[in-house]
Structure 1
Amino acid sequence: MSRNFDEFLTKVTSKVKSKVAHGMIKKELTNHLKELSHAYQKGETTKEEADQKAIQEMGNPYTIGENLNHLHKARMDWSLLALFITIAGISFLPLVGGIPHLSMPGPYFIGRQATWYTLAILVILGFLFFDYRKLKKLCPVFYGVALTLLLYTHFFGLEFNGAQRWIVIGEFIADVTITLFLFFIAWAGIFTKINYYGTWKKQGLLLFLFWIPILIYLALPNYMLSFIYFFTVVAMFVFSGVKKKLAIQISLTNCVVGFIVFIPITYVVTSTPHMYNRLLAFFNPEAYAQTAGYINMLIRDVLLQAGWFGNGLLTGNPLPEGHTDFAFPYLVYSLGWVFGIFLCLLLLLFILRISLNAFKTKDLFGRLLVIGGAALFTVPICWNILMGLGLLPIMGVSLPFISYGGTMLLFYAAVLGLILNVYRRKDIVEPTIETSS
């Protein structure tokens, strides 16, 4: 490249704040300059003169740079951030009256929640200010690490409430939910090349990669993570741009193999007295009033006492885990059905905002990350609320950004950080330059 071209490009990019965009801008402009220079060289013009004319034809480099800076300007989704801040504020409400069954005052948990939210904001910022597209090349690594950690948890994990939940490696301790985050990134990368899985061998590999984590989650047992994983991967597959014929082949193969192999295995894995008791208690809580049905009946009574405007936050928390898994029915009991409806609409708006952002980026990998992120929020939000209304069986699932608990808060913060990262870079596109006439 000539020295004149290099000086011109340096002046252009000096006005572009996005360092990520510099490479593609230089590439695009260099090609355009060479085309103009070759056109001028067809006459009697020397190469140096042709290069100079090409630069003059392009126009003022600083003006071009300012226009490109606007095109490649990093943007923030302030609407989504406003929704997050509102939901974060609501998360402190279940803690105001303290936790009676733990004999802990409200200020203690409010302080801890504030600490966790401080860390959550740092996590969001950490995932916001880097080029998320670099994760794409590491997708096989993410899948391998997630599967290794999941297997390690199954055989050596720390048990909590009857399930292998905590990954303990020396001084390192983490919730098994971290594997869900790694799988989510891995599948976003895998699905960017979904149309390469046209042969039966590759489809078989895809089938294996999809079902194995589900079986291990069920074996822990952690049924909720298996549900979230299933619907997240399916959602990304649907919007992966897969060819219609291949989509039908993969879907039919999954259904057939699922019914023949994996559903029977799943039945054996989940056939435990504890699981049966929960299901029976859901359909007939009165018959299990002294055991598994107690909480179902308690939730029903709490909702009946709520009224339109509730009983107040300082009247006591009648629900065990009213600050975590049952935060929604407790908020309805305390603040009424008006607030409960408002909260449902707020969370729905949060999910819709994320979902709409998925189609504002031209990058397939980024789009799949946002779609997968929307699913990671949608499944637990819907299950937790319907569970809190007595419409679904009780399972261990927190309400994102509202239920008390640091591990899940940091998990959802990381997902939100990635979603905001994709939105921030959605306008970084290959530039199209028009020469001055």
Structure 2
Amino acid sequence: MDIKDNNKVKSFLDTTISKVKNKDMHLEIREELLNHIEDKFYFYISLGLDENSALEKSLLEMGSSEDIGEELNLVHKKKLDVFLMALVISLSVACLTILFSISKISTDAFNLKSFYNSIFAYSLGFLVLYITYRFLNIKFLYKYSNAIYYISLFCLFLNLFNYNLYLSIVPKPMITILLIIPLLISINGILIEKPSATFRLIIPLAFILNLNSLSGLIIYLVCIFVLVFKRGSKLNFLGFSFSIFIFGFYVLFKNNYLIYRLTSLLSFSNPESSGYYIYSLTKDVLSNSNLIGQATNIDLSSIPLINSELIFTYIIGRFGYIPFAILISLITILLVKVFKYIRSIKNSYGKSIVLTAFTMLSCNFALTLLCNLGFSPPLNTISPFLSSSKVSIFSNMFLIGLILNIYSNRFITDISFNNIDKKSLNFSIKL
């Protein structure tokens, strides 16, 4: 007797699940309850009861389906991580305070009107975060990984010919970083389905290299190396690393401009290099700054703050090293919190997505910090949550919303992803 097809069992499971509002957990709950019923059923069969009596006794022992459903609804209710949200809000308020300070000293690059635009951008950013957290179905992202991958590649391809998909309001390096997000999300699903498909990771490099976005290239490379290392075997990882090395060497050998750009960036501390002005400026600000309060003998309006790439340099010069250390600590705590989420997530796809989001946020933070402290050339990177760039604000809020979404459904197992029905996937609001 296959009890999962029994009408009484189906009725019990349907009634129980109907009480659980978190639909993402329905399949897991059904499987778990069915396993409990089967265990009890076969136990009573072993005691000598007939099938009907064993089933009746098993369902009776399970208890009221409505009561169980109410209890499971409380257990699996989507809960927002208040601590992480408090960190995001604190960093956003700190950023707006800093941007207001910048608007008082800057006339062209960032003025009071720009500050009001930033307030509006952060408001929309939190809306993006909420929609992503509350309504995005990550099973949709998983199921359509291939489609998302090819759409992202097509957008990168269009960008090679200066087809600005964003009405000419977004700098090209920012477009690259924006497109890398869906690209990496799709790659997570592709690698889970087929871990050996590492060649699909190399194809986007041809487009990213031709877009002259070194920051996008670094972030993409770090993320895919982490993914291949976590998902594949050591032999697969070594083969992939060797392929990237050969591909990179070939591209550099064929492109003299890329060699020139690379050597110029690496010699950023040389007075004759193109990046020396930024390097010299950051060193002057750092050497004249105080523990707290504004730096002496420094004209803060001379710091190029377009899109807030040198936001940390400005913070140190305007507010001092202690406020800078506090902000760095808040961002570090946020990243550590996100990293800790990874262990508690039960499904491979969610775990992989959160790892990718963590890697992207960490790379942006580290590269921006190194540039602001004079340890690396400017790479058009922007620290998470400390920016006036709309692309940066929206992308960071989307990543945090995605992380919170996955963490709130952390008990979903791989069973859900192995039994996805495309027709049931949508973005409709769950009432």
TM-score of Structure 1 vs Structure 2, range by shorter chain: 0.7 to 0.9
Structure 1 residues 318-357: aligned runs within 5 Å:
318-321=302-305, 324-357=308-341
Which deviates further from its counterpart, 97-106 or 209-218? 97-106
Q: Match of 1:349, as an amino acid?
A: I
1:85 aligns with one of 81, 89, 94: 89
- CA-CA distance at 1:30 after TM superposition: 3.9
CA distance in 2, matches of 1:386, 1:368: 27
CA distance in 2, matches of 1:19, 1:135: 16
CA contact (8 A) 2:24 2:409 kept: no
Q: Match of 2:288, as an amino acid?
A: Q
Structure 1 residues 18-417: aligned runs within 5 Å:
18-30=22-34, 32-33=36-37, 36-37=40-41, 48-97=52-101, 98=103, 100=105, 102-103=107-108, 106-129=111-134, 130-158=136-164, 166=172, 175-195=175-195, 197=196, 206=198, 208-240=199-231, 242=232, 247-269=233-255, 270-271=257-258, 273=260, 275-280=262-267, 282-285=268-271, 287=272, 292-311=275-294, 316-321=300-305, 324-417=308-401
Q: Match of 2:162, as an amino acid?
A: F
Distance 1:276 1:54, change over 3 A: closer
- CA-CA distance at 1:105 after TM superposition: 7.2
CA distance in 2, matches of 1:122, 1:393: 34
Sequence identity percentage: 22
CA contact (8 A) 2:228 2:237 kept: no
- CA-CA distance at 1:84 after TM superposition: 0.7
CA contact (8 A) 1:74 1:427 kept: no
CA contact (8 A) 2:176 2:213 kept: no
CA contact (8 A) 1:310 1:335 kept: yes
CA distance in 2, matches of 1:25, 1:292: 57
- CA-CA distance at 1:140 after TM superposition: 1.1
Q: Match of 2:354, as an amino acid?
A: V
- CA-CA distance at 1:316 after TM superposition: 4.8
CA contact (8 A) 1:124 1:414 kept: yes
Which deviates further from its counterpart, 220-229 or 303-312? 303-312
Which deviates further from its counterpart, 97-106 or 14-23? 97-106
CA distance in 2, matches of 1:299, 1:88: 24
CA distance in 2, matches of 1:379, 1:104: 26
Q: Match of 1:81, as an amino acid?
A: M
CA contact (8 A) 2:28 2:412 kept: no
TM-score (norm 1): 0.82
- Which runs of 5 or more structure 2 residues have no equivalent in the other structure? 416-431
CA distance in 2, matches of 1:336, 1:256: 45
Distance 1:320 1:35, change over 3 A: closer
- Which runs of 5 or more structure 1 residues have no equivalent in the other structure? 168-173, 198-204, 432-437
Distance 1:147 1:47, change over 3 A: same
* Equivalences, count: 404
1:321-375: CA deviation from partner (whole Å, max 9, x where unpaired): 2661101100110110111111221111111111111111110100000000001
CA distance in 1, matches of 2:290, 2:187: 44
CA contact (8 A) 2:345 2:410 kept: yes
Matched with 2:425 is none
CA distance in 1, matches of 2:69, 2:403: 28
CA contact (8 A) 1:33 1:54 kept: yes
Q: Match of 1:379, as an amino acid?
A: C
TM-score (norm 2): 0.83
CA distance in 2, matches of 1:107, 1:254: 49
CA contact (8 A) 2:215 2:380 kept: yes
1:22-61: CA deviation from partner (whole Å, max 9, x where unpaired): 3333344345435645665789977655443222122233
Q: CA-atom RMSD, angstroms?
A: 3.2
1:126-173: CA deviation from partner (whole Å, max 9, x where unpaired): 21123312311111111111111111111233499xxx9559xxxxxx
- Report the secondary structure of 1:175's partner residue: helix
CA distance in 2, matches of 1:384, 1:354: 19
- CA-CA distance at 1:308 after TM superposition: 0.7
CA distance in 1, matches of 2:152, 2:110: 38
Distance 1:328 1:159, change over 3 A: farther
